[in-house]
Amino acid sequence: YGHVLDLGCGSGFWGVELARRGWQVTGVDIVPKALRRARERARQVGVEMRLVEADVTKLGAAGVGSGYPFLMDFGLFHDELSDEQRARMGREVSAVAAPGATLLMVAWAPGRRGPLPRGASRADIETAYPAWDVIDEEGVDVSGAPFYRHMRKAEPRLYRLRRR
């Protein structure tokens, strides 16, 4: 299918699933332990994945490449990043994305929920990604999730962005 960049890939769950379906996946995470898990998961499933230990606010310096037609962020942007880091991430992601690229992003609604992510609104996403258009957004069904009670309160949403 082509190249995909998995931003904040963690243990590689989504990247491995895409690699199983024929995508050429590059996963980026700053946490070495998460990357070790991703390598092990890819090995167990028997797929190839390029994994890069890097900060998403410095993708160019990390040498992840460019021209990605598809990118995904299923839990990074809405979590630990400050507004300044989000803006840098938006610039770096824009620089490695192909014109017309698609970015899928899951973000929880902003709010204080104890140890859970701080969340991000559509406006937060649009501010950090000025070179992109939000094509659509929809709620995510989390009724089967292990932490359903907490996740339901977070009102997770899936955003699809398109690079201009």
144 or 37, greater pLDDT: 37
Q: At residue 24, what are phi and psi to the nearest 5 degrees?
A: -95, 105
Is the confidence at residue 150, as pLDDT, over 70? Answer: no
Quote the mean pLDDT of the chain. Answer: 93
pLDDT at 151 over 80: no
Q: How confident is the model at residue 148 (pLDDT cuts 50, 70, 90)?
A: low
- pTM here is 0.92
What pLDDT sits at residue 118? 85
CA distance 5 to 85: 18
